Amino acid sequence: MDLIKYATEPDGPALAKVNVQSFQGRRYLQEVFPGTTLSRVQEYKIVVGMKHLANPNMHVLKIHDPVSGELATYSRWQFPASFGPSLVPLSEKAVFLAKDSIPHAPQQMNKGVFNGFKKLLEESRKRYTTENDIGKWPPKFPTGVLSGSNSSPVLDLLATLPEYQGRGFGSAVLKWGMEKADASQSRIFLEGTPEGVPIYLKHGWKILEEVVMDYTQFGGVGQESFFLMMRDPVSQ
């Protein structure tokens, strides 16, 4: 039985939980939303998630643990229109929220960190990607994906709740997208956290560069490293 399913609007709270709680060891979210509770950040991420569900080219995937039934893994893959749209039905409220999530962000949002991180990763993308690459880039999340062009699929996010890591759920989602990338002979560029590097190396990515986000430039605390990586396609 295939564990990978498409996510829908009612999955919003569970997707937000995976997104936030998977990266509690990283500084990014606490620097963007200083003094904000995890529950409030998760509320905001539910709104952000509606934007992804509303995008017909964004395929939002989930895996539920077969024993507990809990949503354990959340992933987003963006594909060109030629792959067929991801038609997820949404309520009028969700469609409205999908238009602009920023007004729903916690008031304590540090926009300097938000924009600085986005710029750092955009510059990284320009150094290594071409129109035929699949890219990983996280303008809002610490382990998202630097997107390539509309001609190739894009891995936009991969996250698993801590208690379910090491169960093969992340590898299953990666293989799901890698098969499609190999079929179109596309490279995959990604920006990942140090914690995620081992799984990407295992599946054929190579490290290109380490980049550092200095939060002190924007009134924050400390620094964090992120790794730029590339996977070449495997011939069919």
What's the confidence (pLDDT) of residue 50?
96
Q: Which two tokens stand for residue 130?
A: 């071409």
What is the DSSP code string of 25-71? TSSHHHHHSTT--HHHHHHHHHHHHHHHHH-TTEEEEEEE-TTT--E
Instruction: From 93, 68, 119, select the one nearest 12 (Cα to Cα).
Output: 93
Burial status of residue 18 (CB atoms within 10 A of its CB: 0-12, 13-18, 19 or more) = buried
∠ CA(106), CA(148), CA(218), 5° rounding?
Answer: 35
CA-derived radius of gyration, the chain: 17
Q: Which two tokens stand for residue 154?
A: 């894009």
Q: Which two tokens stand for residue 29?
A: 């979210």
What's the confidence (pLDDT) of residue 202?
93
What's the confidence (pLDDT) of residue 25?
83
What's the confidence (pLDDT) of residue 105?
94
pLDDT tens for the chain, 236 residues long, are: 489 999 999 999 999 999 999 988 899 999 999 999 999 999 999 999 999 999 998 889 999 999 999 999 999 887 767 667 888 899 999 999 999 999 999 998 999 999 999 899 888 878 887 665 655 433 333 333 333 333 456 677 899 999 999 999 999 999 998 998 888 788 888 888 898 899 999 999 999 999 999 999 999 999 999 999 888 899 86
Q: How remote is the C-alpha of 128 from its chain's centroid?
A: 19
The DSSP bridge pattern shows strands 58-64 and 133-135 to be: unpaired
